[in-house]
Amino acid sequence: MTDNAPRQFNFKAETKQLLHILIHSLYKDREVFLRELISNASDAINRLRFEMLTTPDALDPQAELKIHITADKDNRTLTITDTGIGMTHDEIVDHLGTIAQSSARKFLEAAKEKGQDASGMIGQFGVGFYSVFMVAEWVRVTSRSFRPEAQAVTWYATGDDSYEVSPAEMNERGTRVEIKLKEDAAEFAEEYRIKNIVHKHSDYIGFPIYVGSEEKPVNKQTSLWRTARNEIKEEDYKDFYRQTTLDFEDPLLRIHMVTDAPVQLYALLYLPARSERNMFSLRKDDGLKLYSRNILIDEYNKDLLPEYLRFVQGVVDSEDLPLNVSRETVQSSGLMPKLKKVLTNQVVKELENLAKKEAEKYNSFWGEFGAYLKQGIAANPAEADVIAPLLRFKTNLHPETWSSLEEYVSRMKDGQTVIHYLVSEDSKSALRSPHLDSFHAKGLEVILLTEPMDSFMLMGLRKFKDYELKSVAGADADGEDPARAESEAEKIPEEDFNALIGRFKRVLGERVADVRASKRLVQSVARLADADSNSNPDLQRVYKYLGREYEIPKKVLELNPSHEVLKNLLKLQADSELGDIVIEQIFDSALLVEGIHPDPSSMAPRVQRIIEAALAGK
């Protein structure tokens, strides 16, 4: 075999599968193949521009950055040429012999799930280079890398199991894709048809696209984010989102901003409808695409928005970023914090607007991303003031709807000086919590915190405006005495009550910090209050959620001196076994309502005995 002879390679199994689907697909919008090839060409030019910043000896430094499409109707051929980065021999084998981690792979995954229907999704996914085999009898790719020492190379395939690679003659930098169209695809050799497709799918490609011998580019050439807002159709915005994320659900919110001060920037940001990326998502990581004057500098930049807004998708482009920056030095350039500040403020402002104007959409946003914001407060208490207005909660008085802290404050009773909250496992047990007894009695509103993230959030959120947040489970949380007067008469006399306390202490021993009478209980027999009002009462939950070993912190068991159960308990002998069992159960139930019972099922045998005793007494 001489050096110049073509070498044959086999496609990887995955690629064969994909080719098989494409060749046999009855997909009617085959024109998307051109969009894919143009997009590859544009990527290649983008990457070249980036390389040129640091590689002064690139081949053909003066060549115009462009894409050229020519067609020959009689021969049914179509050629797409770009002056982009090009490929070396190894790169061409690597890139065109295997499926990149791209939408083509996602498509294959979907195809496996969907079987025959899959070809209907080709257009949505954009299966990349290989989509050309929907229309091609054969394809020849000839390429020359921008690296001055690299040789030109040709890749040739018919869509069978193998492809050929051989050395080529090509003097210019870039890539030429020649396509022999299938008979039934002859339309793609018509110039008017090609121009149409370019307008429809590739108008915003940032480099000129020439068709045939025309001297004027057929595409608009500005990127979408640099286009004036009033020239953009809603559909363009949605298309852009879909194509860059492969999320087929419309975004919840779109932010297109252009600013000049304090920094120059264009940004096109989207809030996805869901927090989970779908399995087909193109985005492999969080972060925004960062462009400097239309050149992609960083695909997943995480320094443009705070972590708690990491679900935001989109593009940021700034003229102020120096062009000779590498991806690494972008991070250290003093501009980043400024960009971040402007972007963060804008996103927060738009979210507040959304809440005002489209409450339902906002609630949907909150349902998906609320936990991120709560986490944001936990991680950056300094940002609590910025994030707090975005928070939403259910409360004891409005358990079905979301309320903001602002709304809570506007509903506060005269003389109320703190924002009350209750941490609980879920909203049902929250509403039954004995801690709420006196608040219910007085009609006081209490925020119900029922999500794991709430406990973390509380570590950073101790105040809203001038109002401190205060747990209703604290031992000193009373002060607000419910209407006790009428129940005063029904209280167990002090002497008896002290004896009762003695019994509880004997049975529960070390498990409680203390047992005492409560001033605050109305409906409930007992509650567990936090012994030390200075410690963060929510920390124990944080440990629990983190999966750390945690010991139930000792709490103060407060008893309701007017409660029938306790009165009946007094009627039992001081050493009655049933009495001890009931005391155990009162304690266990209190742990349960607090959501800190270590082993609820252990109660079953005891509950059974109590039932038996109750029935026997009837």
Sort strands 174-181 and 77-82 into parallel, antiparallel or unpaired: antiparallel
Q: Which of 95, 92, 121 is nearest to 108 (CA)?
A: 121
Residue 61: asked if its preceding bond is cis (omega within 30°), the reply is no
What would the two tokens of residue 205 be?
């490609």
Indicate the residue among 100 and 607 with the shorter CB distance to ligand ADP.
Answer: 100
CB atoms within 10 A of CB 28: 10
Q: Is 168 in the site for ligand ADP (CB under 6 A)?
A: no
Please report which helix (H) or strand (E) contains residue 591, including its range: helix 577-594
Stretch (H or E) spanning 394: strand 394-395
Distance from C-alpha of 232 to C-alpha of 213, rounded to nearest angstrom: 29
Q: Residue 239 or 350: which CB sits closer to ligand ADP?
A: 239
Asked if 209 is part of the footprint of ligand ADP (rule: CB under 6 A), the reply reads no
Asked whether position 87 contacts ligand ADP by CB under 6 A, the answer is: yes
Q: Which is nearer to ligand ADP, 44 or 512 (CB)?
A: 44
- Contact status: 396 vs ligand ADP (CB under 6 A): no
> Would you tell me how many other CB atoms lie within 10 Å of the CB of residue 164?
15
Please list every residue from 499 through 528 that binds ligand ADP, using CB under 6 A: none
Contact between 96 and ligand ADP per CB under 6 A: yes
How far apart are alpha carbons 562 and 500 in whole angstroms? 13
Q: How far is the CB of 105 from ligand ADP (least distance, A)?
A: 9
3-state secondary structure of 418: strand
In three state form, how does the secondary structure of 72-134 look?
Answer: ECCCCEEEEEECCCCCCHHHHHHHHHCCCCCHHHHHHHHHHHHHHHHHHHHHHHCCHHHHHHH
The yes or no reply on residue 175 touching ligand ADP (CB under 6 A) is: yes
Binder among 31, 82, 437, 558 for ligand ADP (CB under 6 A): 82
Residues in 320-349 at the binding interface with ligand ADP, rule: CB under 6 A: none
From 83, 63, 86, select the one nearest 147 (Cα to Cα): 86
Name the residue with the smallest CB distance to ligand ADP: 128
- In the complex, the smallest distance separating the C-beta of residue 300 from ligand ADP, rounded to whole angstroms, is 15
* Three-state DSSP state, 413: coil
Task: Report the alpha-carbon distance of residue 239 to residue 233 in Å, rounded.
Answer: 10
The residue among 288, 176, 177 whose CA lies nearest residue 225 is 288
Least CB distance to ligand ADP at residue 12 (A): 12
What's the token pair of residue 251?
Answer: 């975004």
CB 273 to ligand ADP: min, Å: 24
Tell me the CA end-to-end span of the chain in Å, nearest whole number.
102
- Contact range with ligand ADP by CB under 6 A, out of 94-102, 357-365, 416-424, 498-506: 94-102
For ligand ADP, give the closer residue by CB, 12 or 428. Answer: 12
One of 78, 85, 224, 296 touching ligand ADP (CB under 6 A): 85
When asked if residue 202 is in the footprint of ligand ADP (CB under 6 A), the reply is: no
Q: Which of 128, 206, 482, 537 is in the footprint of ligand ADP by CB under 6 A?
A: 128
Classified as helix, coil or strand, 157 is strand
Q: In angstroms, what is the minimal distance from the CB of 37 to ligand ADP?
A: 7
Minimum gap (Å) between residue 100 Cβ and ligand ADP:
4
Partners of 447 in beta bridges = 395, 421
Q: With binding defined as CB under 6 A, does residue 100 bind ligand ADP?
A: yes
| Contact between 95 and ligand ADP per CB under 6 A | yes
> Which residue's CB is nearer to ligand ADP, number 82 or number 480?
82
Kindly state the tokens that stand for 427: 């909203």
The nearer residue to ligand ADP, 106 or 555, going by C-beta atoms, is: 106
What distance in Å separates the CA atoms of residue 163 and residue 12, rounded to the nearest whole number? 11
Structure tokens at 232: 């953009």
Sole binder of ligand ADP in the list 19, 59, 104, 590 (CB under 6 A): 104
Please work out the total of residues on this chain that contact ligand ADP, with binding judged by CB under 6 A: 18
Stretch that binds ligand ADP, among 98-106, 214-222, 256-264, 391-399 (CB under 6 A): 98-106
x-or-dash pattern for ligand ADP, window 5-44, by CB under 6 A? Answer: -------------------------------x---xx--x
Distance of CA 470 to the CA centre of its chain: 30
Q: By CB under 6 A, name the binding residues for ligand ADP.
A: 36, 40-41, 44, 82, 84-85, 87, 95-96, 100, 102-104, 128-130, 175
